Chain A
Amino acid sequence: DIQMTQSPSSLSASVGDRVTITCRASQGIRNFLAWYQQKPGEVPKLLIYAASTLQSGVPSRFSGSGSGTDFTLTVSSLQPEDVATYYCQNYNSVPLTFGGGTRVEIK
């Protein structure tokens, strides 16, 4: 099984800061990676797929990059509404696997 490791597990940043979350796969997954945002008490929301393709309706301050084993999710200017836990997901092969999550808070 492919293990997905996210870092950091949590972070605190100021409004307007650039925030980067890293996701590492235990083996190469090409660009078969998705990112989700889950706000407290809400259902996960798809942000990015194919490592860098922004889902329709997602603000352009979110971006993704990477291929193979190393991926990043970047928020170019953190907003209060971005407080959430973010998850990466491998879909290169079954079992589909998620990272452990990164909780983002406002400082």
Chain B
Amino acid sequence: QVQLVESGGGVVQPGGSLRLSCVASGFTFRSYTLHWVRQAPGKGLEWVATLWYDGSQTYYADSVKDRFTISRDISEKTLFLQMNNLRADDAAVYYCARDLVAMTVVTHFFDLWGQGTLVTVSS
């Protein structure tokens, strides 16, 4: 079954850290550019980070740059998002998402989404 399954969300204090994971199955993990997208409660979608399929490039939203790191473990077919120095406005459901087209670094739109993992930032 082609799917993405996130985990790692939870409650963290401001300034704390969390690492989110996204396990892929049913497709060739190393052939797809992957992303993290978040959605604050009751709000719209916000792109967070991108990791190219070949692992050569990463991109981040300005709001998370220098605090978040996207990475992957090909052998485990897992995408990660290391989140440091968390702030109240980072609270959201975090989705991992896959490009529709394999082996592209140009057309980043998402045909496969995980179910999301909730991050709450509160003291």
Decide: A95 and B45 in contact? CB cutoff 8 A.
no
- Which residues of chain B are within 8 angstroms of A62 by Cβ–Cβ distance? none
Decide: B59 and A91 in contact? CB cutoff 8 A.
no
Interface of chain B residues 36 through 93 with chain A (CB within 8 A): 44-47, 50, 59, 61-62
Interface size class of A (residues with CB under 8 A): 20 to 34
Count of chain B residues near A, Cβ 8 A: 20
Q: Cβ of A46 < 8 Å from any Cβ of B?
A: yes
A51 to chain B, nearest CB (A): 11
Residues of B within 8 A of A (CB): 35, 44-47, 50, 59, 61-62, 95, 100, 107-111, 113-116
CB<8 Å pairs between A and B, sample of 8: A44-B110, A46-B110, A50-B107, A55-B100, A95-B62, A96-B47, A97-B47, A98-B46
Residues of A within 8 A of B (CB): 1, 32, 34, 36, 38, 43-46, 49-50, 55, 87, 89, 91, 94-101
